Amino acid sequence: MHADLQANHGHVPVMRDRVTELLAPGVQALGSNAVIIDGTLGAGGHTEHFLRTFPDAFVIGLDRDEIALSGARERLAGFGERFVGVHTRFDGVAEVLAEGQGPAFDAARAHGVAAALFDLGVSSMQLDQEERGFAYRVDAPLDMRMDKRLNVTAADILNTYSHGDLARVLKEYGDERFAGKIASAVLKEREKQPFTTSARLVELLYNTIPAATRRTGGHPAKRTFQALRVEVNSELDSLAQLIPTMSAHMAVGATMVFMSYQSLEDVIVKKALKTLTTSTTPAGLPIDLPGTAPDYELLTRGAEKATPEEVDRNPRSAPVRVRAARRVRAEQLTDTPDTIKGA
């Protein structure tokens, strides 16, 4: 097994116990028919905990990263057919559920999904694998592809995007105040030599971002590296497509949990969950009109954060924002005896 995957086994997944608590009612209600979707499998930490906590449940784990998927499959092999790992981007979940073969997929199609977790963004494992180019503190190839089947790397973006497109990416996906200035510096530097590794980009950012901002705004490369990663992997487009897709496959009483680590992700999740949990009855009417009541209810007040104690144990949990919603009805579905009844 990859050394970083082995090391990652010692990490407790972020907010593991709270996430499990949110997902538990739907899983327990469906019993041996319960299927959990771990849409961001990573090293398999959350999934292993779910399989041990809910001994009758199945987990279908999705990951676009073949290295992560291979390690997770090896780690979880002892659970037999209760775990299935699938190589796909998480917004491909509908195709996975429709086409998958085996008892986990049969249960999901017959009874709906009992619980779903999406731990968004780059994983600790990916950050730890220096050769992947996600981390700005080491010199590595400017790759940043979570899925090696993708054609465009971070280096390609730096070396080919126009000034306007590059500035847009840095501003929209990194909230970078100096996006235009950085884009100008990149275009000037790439005329001398194409960008290939991270150290040269980090040096450029140090030289371009004013000293006063460097002293107070965190590492000067953080926002640019985030923006490039999001662009390379189309992360926000995937997330926007995911939530309405996943919501259609949940059983009544089941919960979806989303863990965001940056504001752009959290805004998309917040907006999508608000849509799912808001009645479409015209304002002013005393009751919901037929077919207008929301299918979901929010389980979290705002976004929940890691406790100070957890942040002390695992600093990577500091930025996490957790939102959850439970399905309370399914207007378009016919109830079966195994359907969980909402409150």
Question: Angle at which helices 163-174 and 222-233 pack, to 10 degrees?
Answer: 100
Question: Angle at which helices 179-192 and 198-208 pack, to 10 degrees?
Answer: 130
Q: Where are the beta strands (DSSP E) in the chain?
A: 35-38, 58-63, 83-87, 113-119, 250-260, 296-298, 321-327
Instruction: Using alpha carbons, select from 329, 308, 330 the residue that is nearest to residue 317.
Output: 308
- The answer to whether 46 is annotated as binding is yes
Q: How many CB atoms lie within 10 A of CB 235?
A: 22
Number of H helices and E strands in the chain, helices first, is 16, 7
- The answer to whether 90 is annotated as binding is yes
Place of tokens 């840095």: 170
Rounded Cα–Cα distance for residues 106 and 336 (Å): 15
The answer to whether the beta carbons of residues 122 and 136 sit under 8 Å apart is: no
- The answer to whether 164 is annotated as binding is no
- The answer to whether 178 is annotated as binding is no
- The answer to whether 102 is annotated as binding is no
- The answer to whether 78 is annotated as binding is no
- The answer to whether 219 is annotated as binding is no
Annotated binding site: 44-46, 63, 90, 119, 126
Annotated binding site for S-adenosyl-L-methionine: 44-46, 63, 90, 119, 126
